[in-house]
Chain A
Amino acid sequence: MPRVDVALEVQGIVKRFGDREALRGVSFAAAPGEQVAVIGPNGAGKTTLLSILAGIARPDEGEVRQPNGGEVGWVPQQAALYRRLSVAENLLLFARLEGHEDPRASTEQMLELCGLGERRDEIVARLSGGNQQRINIAIGLLSRPVVLLLDEPSVGLDPRQRARLWEFVSALADNGTTVIFSTHDIQEAERYGQRLLVLADGESLFDGSADALREAVRREAPEAADRDFETAFVAYLHHRGH
């Protein structure tokens, strides 16, 4: 019997690049409609983990399971779309490649979803980074995923664009899509991540809510517990030897 409360489950993932272990036995699970933030310093293994979840890289050990099946959508950090094609042409191409029965209808649906209907015929290269990222996500959604992976989706966006992006992503989660995103922005993780997965040097240090992380800081680094979340997080990492 599949567990209806788990959309994606990761067990003991290990990934090596030569002698270096990029991931060391990472495990976690995500529920339908849950927003999971993967955070950690540079080189922690965030992108490697998302690449394995997306099926682009293979783990050396461990497994990724989807008890309820369904597609996993992947939105890479760099917008993966054709900059010389228009917004609609990009969506239509990927809808066709996904094998949609009516790719034009799917394109219209995605244009409405990402709010770029009026700019459908604009060449992507002329759009702002934020709008390009919205198309990037819309393409990721064309496979109608039950789990959406976002690799640092807000990098390079201004505050207004970030707000619109998260409004868009939260709406997806509200409709039942599990969203797993990596980010460097701790405030963003605290605000939009219902659960935080803290990675450092390929090791999973923490898996829980932002409040639980602050409690952990209070226990392990009480001097930083009442500071802002980012300072508390840095103190936590420091206390853990990272």
Chain B
Amino acid sequence: MRWLLLKDLQILRRSPLQAALLILYPVLIAVLVGFAISRSPEKPRVAFLNEVPSGARVNVGGQKLPALNVEGRICRRVECVKVKDREEAEAEVSSGSVLAALILPANLVDKINSLSTLTPGTPKVEVMVNEEDPVRAELVNDRITTLLAQANLAVARRIAGEGSRYLDLLINGGQFEVIGQSIQILGLRATAQILEALQPALPAGSLRNSLREVTGFAQQARDNLDVAGPLIDRVAQPIQVEKQVVSGSAPPLEIFAIAVAATLTLAFVTVLLVAGSLALEREENAFPRLTRGLVSPLALLGEKVLLGVAVGLVVTLLMLAGLQIFVPLDWGRFGLWLLAIVAGGAALAAAGAALGAIAREVRAVSLLAFMVTLPVAFLSLVPSGAVGSGLSEAIDVVTALFPFKPALEAMTAALDSAGPSIGGPLLHLAILIVAYGLVARLGLRRFATV
């Protein structure tokens, strides 16, 4: 077996393109993933035109609220490209230099203020988007919708806050500024106390009874309005989220990204290499010569799996070492990494051997390996619950039949110290190694057909 392994490595060395790809591919993936997970997401560039007069304020009950600083809030979340007018905003969007343009029209504050009048208007902001690219358009829509929801929430909170303040003034009394003059408000609490104190001074009779009723009303109003304050605060954000994790412990995003990158690399290298190498034995007409007593078909399969695991191990470790530049990895778990790579690599190599034995021709094998590996890898990354239950179950079955998902789970468990046990994925991989080994062995029967 060792001589066949040596032969395959010699052939690999003789194919400069293949050898270069095996080195460049993991390095490239490592750099891409490293950059992706070590840099915070870029803020989208948005052209921003604020036509609202600088002194405009939202009024509540004739009182101007403090400035909301909408521009500041927006520009913290997106990269604002200030523009002079609408034409410039439109030109920026058309050229694609910004994802969208956001325009706060001059009458925005007036329209907001009209909400508390008898003739309410509809406050609007204007958004210009370039929808040539549906993905970017969706991104912009999501981001603008979020920004507007946050702006609405900020306004609602301010209004609710002011409402609560006026309610407190009504209950407890205090100073109130109106048209530049300070007015002392008595408040329901003090009113009730005064009225209560006046009662003994009145003669018994209807007038005294009426005063008692008014005093009672003032006390009831004070007590009930005390409850109204927190209620107004709640109106601004009536529903809040309380998150409770009931199953699964999601690994940190960067660990999951590294596990995905490592497993993808391992999958493509092993499946393509083993499937191609086995098909090459037939294409070179060497298979019948080898199996005439020199090597058993099972030993040949074992050699191919060993080749896939050896090359996959080197390439995946190379990639992890490259990622270390961007993200610190726990090298204390190196033993588990090896276990995950070897088990995942062996199962993927066995699947590659089965594909190679079935497809038989190198070109057909390469195509088949891509056609199987890529969609299965994609499906393995679809979170459960992201699709309907029927489709989710179908995806679970498909991904359980191919070694990518258990290999990914093993890799994640090996990389994440707080993650789940590696035992389950390893058992799954062991079953797949045996199953694909049998398929490959059966496929080799047709290999010998003259």
Question: Cβ of B11 and Cβ of A85 under 8 Å apart?
Answer: yes
Question: Cβ of B285 and Cβ of A84 under 8 Å apart?
Answer: no
**16 other A-B residue contacts (CB within 8 Å) besides A80-B289, A85-B7, A94-B294:** A51-B450, A54-B288, A74-B288, A74-B292, A76-B289, A80-B286, A81-B286, A82-B7, A82-B284, A83-B284, A85-B11, A89-B10, A93-B7, A97-B3, A97-B290, A139-B289
**B372 contacts A by Cβ under 8 Å:** no
Count the B residues whose beta carbon is within 8 Å of the partner chain — how many?
A: 19
**A123 contacts B by Cβ under 8 Å:** yes
User: Which of B3, B11, B14, B288 is the one whose CB lies under 8 Å from A80?
Assistant: B288
**B295 contacts A by Cβ under 8 Å:** yes
User: Which of A96, A123, A139 is the one whose CB lies under 8 Å from B14?
Assistant: A123
Question: Cβ of A96 and Cβ of B289 under 8 Å apart?
Answer: no
Q: Which of B1-60 contact A (CB under 8 A)?
A: 3-4, 7, 10-11, 14-15
**Identity of the chain B residue whose Cβ is nearest the Cβ of A54 in the assembled complex:** B292
Most buried by B among A47, A57, A74, A93: A93
**Identity of the chain B residue whose Cβ is nearest the Cβ of A103 in the assembled complex:** B3
Question: Cβ of A56 and Cβ of B292 under 8 Å apart?
Answer: yes
Question: Cβ of B3 and Cβ of A84 under 8 Å apart?
Answer: no
**Identity of the chain A residue whose Cβ is nearest the Cβ of B294 in the assembled complex:** A97
Q: Which residues of B contact A82 (CB under 8 A)?
A: 7, 11, 284, 286
**Identity of the chain B residue whose Cβ is nearest the Cβ of A50 in the assembled complex:** B450
Question: Cβ of B450 and Cβ of A80 under 8 Å apart?
Answer: no
**Identity of the chain B residue whose Cβ is nearest the Cβ of A48 in the assembled complex:** B450
Question: Cβ of B289 and Cβ of A84 under 8 Å apart?
Answer: no
Q: What mask results when residues 285 to 302 of chain B are scored 1 for a CB within 8 Å of chain A, else 0?
A: 110111011110000000
Category for how many chain A residues contact B: 20 to 34
Most buried by A among B3, B15, B289, B294: B289
Question: Cβ of B450 and Cβ of A56 under 8 Å apart?
Answer: yes
**A231 contacts B by Cβ under 8 Å:** no
**B314 contacts A by Cβ under 8 Å:** no
Q: What mask results when residues 320 to 334 of chain B are scored 1 for a CB within 8 Å of chain A, else 0?
A: 000000000000000
**A98 contacts B by Cβ under 8 Å:** yes
Q: In the assembled complex, how far is the CB of residue A226 from the closest CB belonging to chain B, in whole angstroms?
A: 39
Task: Give the CA-CA distance A98 to B288 in the complex, in Å.
Answer: 14
Q: Which residues of A contact B14 (CB under 8 A)?
A: 84-85, 123
Task: Give the CA-CA distance A89 to B11 in the complex, in Å.
Answer: 11
**B367 contacts A by Cβ under 8 Å:** no
Q: In the assembled complex, how far is the CB of residue A98 from the closest CB belonging to chain B, in whole angstroms?
A: 7
Task: Give the CA-CA distance A139 to B7 in the complex, in Å.
Answer: 15
Q: In the assembled complex, how far is the CB of residue B148 from the closest CB belonging to chain A, in whole angstroms?
A: 63
Task: Give the CA-CA distance A57 to B448 in the complex, in Å.
Answer: 8
Q: Which residues of B contact A98 (CB under 8 A)?
A: 294
Q: Which residues of B contact A74 (CB under 8 A)?
A: 288-289, 292
Q: In the assembled complex, how far is the CB of residue B225 from the closest CB belonging to chain A, in whole angstroms?
A: 90
Enumerate 10 A-B pairs (CB-CB under 8 Å) in ascending A order.
Answer: A74-B292, A76-B288, A76-B289, A82-B7, A82-B11, A85-B11, A93-B3, A96-B3, A98-B294, A123-B14
**Identity of the chain A residue whose Cβ is nearest the Cβ of B280 in the assembled complex:** A82
Q: Which residues of B contact A116 (CB under 8 A)?
A: none
Given contacts A54-B292, A97-B290, A139-B289, contact A84 B450 (CB under 8 A): no
Question: Cβ of A80 and Cβ of B285 under 8 Å apart?
Answer: yes
Q: Which residues of A contact B295 (CB under 8 A)?
A: 97
**Identity of the chain B residue whose Cβ is nearest the Cβ of A56 in the assembled complex:** B288
Q: Which residues of A contact B15 (CB under 8 A)?
A: 84
Which 10 residue pairs of A and B lie closest in terms of their CB atoms, listed nearest first? A80-B285, A97-B294, A80-B289, A84-B14, A96-B3, A78-B285, A51-B450, A84-B11, A56-B288, A80-B286
Task: Give the CA-CA distance A45 to B270 in the complex, in Å.
Answer: 40
Q: In the assembled complex, how far is the CB of residue B13 from the closest CB belonging to chain A, in whole angstroms?
A: 9
